[in-house]
Amino acid sequence: MSALNSLNHHFSIAGQLTFTATDDGQQIAEINNAHAKASIALQGAHVMTFQPHGEAPVLWMSENTHPAPGKAIRGGIPVCWPWFGDHPDKAFPQHGFARVQLWRVIGSEALADGSTRVVFELQKNEAARAQWPYSCHLRCTVTVGKTLTVELATENLGEEAFTIGEALHTYLAVSDIEHIRVSGVEEAPYWDKVRDLRSVQNGAITFSGEFDRLFMNTSNDCVIDDAQFKRRIRIKKSGSSSTIVWNPWAEKSEKMGDMGKDGYRTMVCVESGNAMDNIVTLAPGETHKMHAIYSVEPL
């Protein structure tokens, strides 16, 4: 039995969940239930799309990116783990290896409210073990319904403590970056990567150029007000003390090569995570869970 046939045999749900493959063999979980449709790449347990029925897409995906072995996907919800940002060893990939590793499906479920749940676990290869020698288990649970919920659970299976940084590096679809505002991190301390300084946020966030701030010690909901789309995207989180807000703007976007023409104008990253001052240490036998719920409200 082929890998794709095996996935569908064990985990498909009639009328809700099927597994497909791209031309180069990348496996995708396709969900279409009573509430919404979504797609999740098994590489990275990467939620690529989420669209409640009757709504515009909630997640942004670059028109210039496609799942490919070992290559990060631009858009959707990349899983950054077990570190966020650059590693001290520059030979290691930015944001860790979880987003480019193949994950295994270990469960699926049709919930009573019409939602669909899929559970993934990270498969570590020798390259990943060389970067992260600790004994642990990483699980990602995705629930697609009226809202989208993504949970990361890290369990320390070893006999020594370790420390992780992590983030759900979420790209949200917006009408125009210069006509939205992001609230929820007012008065939070932050590190501004663009200007390399620390300060405290004053008021809601608006955008007129490159923006890259890591907000610390904040567990508040974040809200994107989008007047042109007449909607509000809410990100409610738990187990997360950091929020990262990012838009590369025109010059950096052009250099990146996979953002698409003027792609930066129709996206903003509002990321739930634990980074810098908020990295998490797990004792032997301990499990840390972080999850985010994405919902759409009329504005």
| Residue positions forming the annotated binding site | 74, 94, 99
Sign of torsion, CA 97 101 107 110? Answer: positive
Please pick, among 35, 46, 271, 291, the residue that the annotation labels catalytic: 271
Q: Left if phi > 0, otherwise alpha if psi is -120 to 50, otherwise beta: which for 105? A: beta
Token look-up 């969900």 returns 31
DSSP label at 82? S
**Which residues are 47's β-sheet partners?**
40, 77
Please pick, among 35, 95, 169, 291, the residue that the annotation labels catalytic: 169
| Residue positions forming the annotated binding site for substrate | 74, 94, 99
Instruction: Count the neighbouring beta carbons within 10 Å of the beta carbon of residue 279.
Output: 17
Q: Is 95 a catalytic residue?
A: no
- On whether the CB atoms of residues 264 and 173 are closer than 8 A, the answer is no
Concatenate the DSSP letters of all residues of 201-255 into one string.
--SSB--SS-EEEEE-S----EEEEETTTTEEEEEEEES--EEEEEE-HHHHHHH
Q: Is 288 a catalytic residue?
A: no
Q: Which residues are known catalytic residues?
A: 169, 271
